């Protein structure tokens, strides 16, 4: 079986310092060994009708679902979740085992 992924798509509340939230998330994943990799990005191209207000995507990769479960209960994640949740207007979360189709080059 492949890696386990945690995908967050977010629309932040108006006036939120998104850069600070992202820095906090980068520190969080650096401090927790269960996180295999972390990527994020801000939408630049989508039409508003398709974006539905969502602006940022965050993708964490774990070796397995057990590592993801450990991440969820880690004290640093629990603490950061409070800050992150307060900054969010809308959110979509997907947690799933990855199905590899084409390996990165």
Fold of 4-53+62-89: Alpha-Beta Plaits (3.30.70)
The CA angle 70-71-74, to the nearest 5 degrees, is: 85
**Which residues 6+ apart lie within 8 Å of 73 measured at CB?**
none
Q: Is 61 helix (H, G, I), strand (E, B) or coil?
A: strand
Read off the pLDDT of residues 29-51 as tens digits, 9 standing for 90 and up: 999 999 999 999 999 887 777 77
User: Model confidence at 1, in pLDDT bands (50, 70, 90)?
Assistant: low
Q: What is the pLDDT of residues 73-84, one digit of tens each?
A: 999 999 999 999
Q: Which two tokens stand for residue 4?
A: 């386990």
Question: DSSP class of residue 84?
Answer: H
pTM: 0.90
């Amino acid at each position: 079986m492949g890696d386990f992924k945690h995908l967050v798509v977010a629309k932040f509340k108006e006036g939120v310092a998104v850069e600070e939230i992202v820095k906090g998330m980068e520190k969080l994943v650096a401090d927790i060994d269960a996180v295999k990799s972390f990527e994020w990005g801000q939408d630049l191209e989508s039409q508003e009708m398709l974006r539905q207000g969502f602006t940022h995507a965050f993708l964490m990769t774990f070796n397995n679902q057990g590592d993801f479960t450990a991440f969820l209960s880690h004290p640093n994640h629990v603490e950061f979740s409070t800050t992150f949740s307060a900054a969010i207007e809308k959110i979509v979360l997907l947690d799933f085992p990855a199905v590899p189709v084409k390996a990165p080059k």
